[in-house]
Chain A
């Protein structure tokens, strides 16, 4: 059980995190928020790369102190972007990470072989990283995060740059690995955590605005999500008055999904809210410029 209590962090006048609290048990947790909401800062505090200004972190009831190598031994971390070591081969890099994590050589070899096969990188394990595509580097980063069977895995945008097939692969893998582990997944792609997350934490401008189950988050949008079919002229008017989430054109007619506290038109029908709807409801004001 990982407990985060009242974490605060500021960079000069910029408040990156403000009284951030949550509890993470076994399973997959999504850390949602737009760019600049504090997700990466949160991750860096958990990995002891940044010192928080206030608050504390407890793991299994024990307070985590600074420069705690034993705590870091329980963490697997995948940062948002990394050039890796271009001159190393895939295998070299994973063995290097295994050495940094203090994993026994035999155990590391076995785990590496298994994970490489799982992520379809075994055919290129002896190729230099410099020749890897973006998706291959991303998968390599993911593999190193799971080396050593860490109890806590922190993944920052793990599916960025992956094609749909690979994203499904990653999602299934995370779902399998969640037993006995705490996996925290920072993302702003709802699909990454849909159906696999046990909990969701929403950050907005450094503050925790939601912490709970995905269903509970979706329920926040209950009564606010509508679907209606309109013609071309009316669509423009709808877009001006409401937050349109999705538009679908078929057979000369246009149907759209939108957010509104009241029924937007006569033909509108209330629909079952999804996580994405709830996300748009919570963060929609930050995306006003991107209104469809």
Chain B
């Protein structure tokens, strides 16, 4: 016990731990704040409207249409009135409450539909002769139906869903914390040169590693619980609970297994799940570190393990989809589905709770890793067991390099920025693929289709053709009331009404896309009238490429690379030697490295974004003038590809500026940790504000 106490003290007081823990809490608070969507509208009023709808839907719909018409007239008056139309009318609040109520009803209905589908699938699997499987299925069906009944009685679940999204979003920062903790546990003593001393003691091997393992578990648990509690607290203070305050007192908010759970218990279960994932990654970092003998490999290995957990995400209810779900913590921890639609895992014909399976897997894997970490190969030379000996030629002459070349070698290899760079590029690739690779909505697909069909130079004929198509759609949509009247009067059959409704809904979707196209063409027409030569092209991809954004991954990479530019030299006391050297040359070499590295990273990251967007076919007509994209005014006469290059140059300049700021901070504070924290804070503040 005393050994555990000392190891805990060593970890908590260790280099970087306090900073990482505070960063984790800051991120947790940030997530709680961001996800809180306080509703300015009375939740009771919304619930009352939803109940009235269940009793008399026609009356509620009629009132909603009245409010909608009044709203549209008000919106038109705002457009035409130079003074802005005056104060918002009183009925506006009621209109928003009705809108919210319908949104809630629709969302609730879709969840209940999902529950019903799942229950249907489970009932199909009931078969004679397999009592065990049938018993499990019966239990699951009972749980789903209890949740269905509960859901029917609930009004606005948005607050609860947002809360679970907060907790789900804590996964990534906790995994990073776990990776950092694991690498610290594996390397802290080695880095300080204390390893030989401690190993020579009687309890300096297995007992010490066991104590480290216990400390890792304790720290992961504290981190998971404190980050969950803090994010929930900030969420509450930010007004996130206003949408479902009654659930806090509700003793039967959910059913997981045939037992009722309150919201607090549900949060507790999710926190426990987060702890298991964090601890698993922590132990993965320990094991990779132990066998590789390298802290950076330890961090990268843990990052790969963490990334795999996000790699598979599927709502596919088939067996293959279920198996994919086993590996997907993100899917299982998805707040919108965890309790409303518990993912069943179908393995060997037996249905199990996905969450239970994954929890057990995490626990067993973590315990196995613990055992290996504590028991296997506790001698220093074994750290190098997996190293491959690369025969090197002995140089006959030592090559004399420039100061800049030495500085670059020092930063990239000695300070291990190169593996961090590689990891960041891989992460950026993954993030870009996720960001730009999602399946577009139907409206977006139609938008693209319309624009692609008239791609090229803007002409009045193209404008006229699209206007004509829009008129046709309005004609179809305008027949709705008449068709409804005819249907009620029996003048049209049910199938005719059904066919019309299909055309109506299709026209409604297409109308949204065409309205966007018309707005685009209106903009292009104004350019053409001013003597320019705009082009019609699908602009979504270009808008994404040119959009201003704070690239957090790039920012963190630059912070990690530059925070030790001067800080490392004070840490290893090289500044004493440099005091009697050519300091000017040294500063110049650091400046050159700072600018060179930042520019390289900015170009690489821009290239990745461009490649991702282009891969999904969203960068047509790169030789068209840049002013063809709405919002481009500065140097808009350049071709799009040149404008994109210009953006890259701008990104390089801003990256270099940011890096120079971090380097200056490093020189001023003389502390790597402090520079890292302050620069990260500035980065996240900029991300929030912009």
Contacts and interface: CB of A to CB of B under 8 A. Distances in A.
A209 interface: no
Interface stretch (A76-84, A175-183, A233-241, A282-290): A76-84
Contact of A100 (B13, B196, B203, B389): B203
A97 B200 CA distance: 11
A109 interface: no
Interface string B370-398: 00000000111100000001000000000
Contacts of A81: 193
Contacts of A131: none
B378 A67 contact: yes
A82 B380 contact: no
A105 interface: yes
A49 B3 contact: no
A75 interface: yes
A101 B202 contact: yes
Contacts of B197: 77-79, 82, 141, 144
B202 A102 contact: yes
B687 interface: no
Interface string B190-212: 00111011111111110110000
Contacts of A79: 193, 196-197
A50 B199 CA distance: 11
B642 to A, nearest CB: 55
A85 B196 contact: no
A59 interface: no
B615 interface: no
A224 to B, nearest CB: 39
A79 B205 CA distance: 17
Contact of B13 (A84, A87, A102): A87
B203 A49 contact: no
A224 B3 CA distance: 56
A96 B202 contact: no
B631 interface: no
B10 interface: yes
B107 interface: no
Nearest to A47: B200
B2 interface: yes
Nearest to A68: B202
Interface string A62-99: 00000101101101011101111101100010011101
A84 to B, nearest CB: 7
Interface string A96-114: 1101111001000000000
B380 A50 contact: yes
B203 A69 contact: yes
B268 interface: no
A26 interface: no
Contacts of A47: 196, 199-200
A291 interface: no
Contact of B9 (A67, A92, A100): A92
Given A77-B197, A92-B9, A96-B6, A101 B381 contact: no
A49 B9 CA distance: 25
Given A50-B380, A50-B381, A51-B381, A84 B194 contact: yes
Given A67-B205, A88-B10, A49 B192 contact: no
Contacts of B194: 82-85
A100 B379 contact: no
B686 interface: no
Contact of A44 (B193, B196, B203): B196
Interface in A124-170: 141, 144
Interface string B1-21: 011001001100110000000
A144 to B, nearest CB: 8
A75 B198 CA distance: 12
A72 B202 contact: yes
A67 B379 CA distance: 9
A141 B202 CA distance: 17
Given A49-B379, A72-B204, A87-B13, A100 B198 contact: yes
Nearest to B13: A87
B204 A100 contact: yes
Nearest to A105: B2
A207 interface: no
Nearest to A46: B200
Contacts of B13: 85, 87-88
A3 interface: no
A48 interface: yes
A99 B10 contact: no
A141 B379 CA distance: 22
Contacts of B203: 69, 99-102
B2 A49 contact: no
Interface in A24-72: 44, 47-51, 67, 69-70, 72
Contacts of B196: 44, 47, 49, 77, 79
A77 B200 contact: yes
Nearest to A78: B197
Nearest to A48: B200
Contacts of A50: 379-381
Contacts of B380: 49-50
A51 B377 CA distance: 12
Contacts of B3: 99-100
Nearest to A11: B381
Interface in B6-59: 6, 9-10, 13-14
B379 A83 contact: no
Given A50-B379, A92-B9, A99-B6, A83 B200 contact: no
A96 B211 CA distance: 12
Contacts of B199: 47-49
A112 B202 CA distance: 18
Contacts of A75: 200
Interface string A1-24: 000000000001000000000000
B202 A100 contact: yes
A87 B14 contact: yes
Counting chain B CB atoms within 10 Å of each CB, the highest count among A84, A95, A96, A144 belongs to A96
Given A50-B381, A82-B192, A82-B193, A100 B201 contact: yes
B192 A84 contact: yes
B376 to A, nearest CB: 12
B381 A73 contact: no
A77 B198 CA distance: 9
B13 to A, nearest CB: 3
A100 B2 CA distance: 9
B72 to A, nearest CB: 66
Nearest to A154: B200
Nearest to B204: A100
Contacts of A70: 202
A99 B6 CA distance: 9
A97 B201 contact: yes
A96 B201 CA distance: 11
Interface string B207-247: 11000000000000000000000000000000000000000
Interface string B159-198: 0000000000000000000000000000000001110111
Contacts of A82: 192-194, 197
A99 B208 CA distance: 10
A67 B199 CA distance: 10
28 contacts: A12-B389, A47-B196, A47-B200, A48-B199, A49-B196, A49-B380, A69-B205, A70-B202, A72-B200, A77-B196, A78-B197, A79-B193, A84-B192, A84-B194, A85-B194, A87-B10, A88-B10, A92-B9, A95-B2, A97-B201, A99-B3, A100-B3, A100-B204, A100-B208, A101-B201, A102-B202, A102-B203, A141-B197
Interface of B: 2-3, 6, 9-10, 13-14, 192-194, 196-205, 207-208, 378-381, 389
| Top 10 A-B pairs, shortest CB-CB distance | A87-B13, A83-B192, A100-B201, A47-B200, A73-B202, A77-B200, A96-B6, A99-B2, A102-B202, A101-B201
Given A49-B379, A79-B193, A88-B9, 12 more contacts: A44-B196, A72-B200, A72-B202, A73-B202, A78-B197, A87-B10, A95-B6, A99-B2, A100-B203, A100-B207, A102-B202, A141-B197
